[in-house]
Amino acid sequence: MPLFYQHNINDTTKLAVWQISESEEFFLKKVPLQKEITHPHKRLQHLAGRYLLEFLEEGFPFHLIEIADSKKPLLLNSEFHFSVSHCGDYAAAIISKNKLVGIDVELITPKIEQVKNKFLSKNELSILPEESINYLTLFWSAKEAMFKWHGNGKVDFKKNMVIEKLAYENEEGFINAHFDKEVKTELKIEFKFFGNLCLAWVLL
């Protein structure tokens, strides 16, 4: 069972990361495939994410999941808020009973250098401790987590989500940021590095 990482944030919120090495049949024994996905690896990622939801909360109400206009999966008339992310052979999920949540998992690759100016302002670039692909990836991951937390689409990653401060020690830490669309909301995004993998999450 390749549970890669698990973190119980508090009594009502928990997250986990799964390293995918199983076949579809392994996941389908526990969770349903709720939409048509033709690409085999994307289908496997989807199933792993759903498997993590069941892992974190036994009896997770998959039958109540609906897809919003923004493409965000959500539960109507349910006590749970959740977010799922996947990249490569990893899937991540977070569940909360009383907070809106967002999670993102990213593999660190040099490609992030090519798009940094599309999602980061000059001020945000100046906050970077070094212009390394690790922290560029982290800033992207933090904004992806905020985007999922917001859940309503139509967001400018550069204008609506602003990173203000970075604090870290021993490959983990937090980012202070704000989400500014209609209402300005202060957010704290926590993160952790695992070698070439970056995990970021937010709840409020």
Contact 85, 105 (CB under 8 A): yes
Among the listed ranges 33-42, 130-139, 140-149, which one has the minimum average pLDDT value? 33-42
Contact 23, 14 (CB under 8 A): no
Q: What would the mean pLDDT of 65-69 be, rounded to a whole number?
A: 79
Q: What would the mean pLDDT of 120-135 be, rounded to a whole number?
A: 91
Q: What per-residue confidence (pLDDT) applies to 1?
A: 59
46, exposed or middle or buried, with CB in 10 Å at 0-12, 13-18, 19+? buried
Q: Where are the domains of the chain?
A: 3-98, 105-203
The domain 105-203 is classified under which CATH number: 3.90.1150.10, 3.10.450.630, 3.10.20.30, 3.40.50.10680?
3.10.450.630
Return all residues near 122 (Cβ < 8 A) that are at least 6 apart.
none
What pTM does this model have? 0.95
- When computed from its CA atoms, the radius of gyration of the chain, rounded to whole angstroms, is 17
Report the percentage of the chain scoring pLDDT > 90: 81
Which of residues 164 and 68 earns the better pLDDT score?
164
The CA distance from 48 to 17, in Å, is 10
Q: CATH assignment of 3-98? A: 3.90.470.20
Q: What per-residue confidence (pLDDT) applies to 83?
A: 96
